[in-house]
Amino acid sequence: MNAKSDGILSAIAASGLEKCLLKMNRASSGKWELAGARVFTGRIPEAIKLRNPEGGPSSAVQINVDNSPRFAAALVFGSGDINHISRCFVNDDLSRASGIERFEEVMLVEIGNILLNALINSLLNSLKRSAVPSVPMHVSGGTEAITDGLGAFMDLNLNYRIIALAVNIRRDGHSSRAEILAILPEELAADLEPA
Q: Give the per-residue pLDDT at 155.
A: 95
Instruction: Tell me the pTM.
Output: 0.90
C-beta neighbour count of 151 within 10 angstroms: 15
| Secondary structure string (H, E, C) spanning 60-75 | EEEEEECCCCCEEEEE
Please check the confidence at residue 133 and state whether its pLDDT lies above 90.
yes
Spatial CA neighbour of 37 closest among 181, 194, 188, 189 = 181
Q: Give the per-residue pLDDT at 8.
A: 84
Contact at 8 Å (CB) between 122 and 149?
no
**Structural fold of domain 3-192:** Chemotaxis protein chec (3.40.1550)
Please check the confidence at residue 83 and state whether its pLDDT lies above 90.
no
Interval 14-32: pLDDT, tens: 999 999 999 999 988 889 9
Q: What is the DSSP letter of 137?
A: E
> How far apart are alpha carbons 99 and 81 in whole angstroms?
18
Residue 69: pLDDT band by 50, 70, 90 thresholds?
Answer: confident
Question: What would the mean pLDDT of 148-157 be, rounded to a whole number?
Answer: 94
Residue 138: pLDDT band by 50, 70, 90 thresholds?
Answer: very high
Q: Where are the domains of the chain?
A: 3-192
Contact at 8 Å (CB) between 136 and 62?
yes
One-letter amino acid identity for 2?
Answer: N
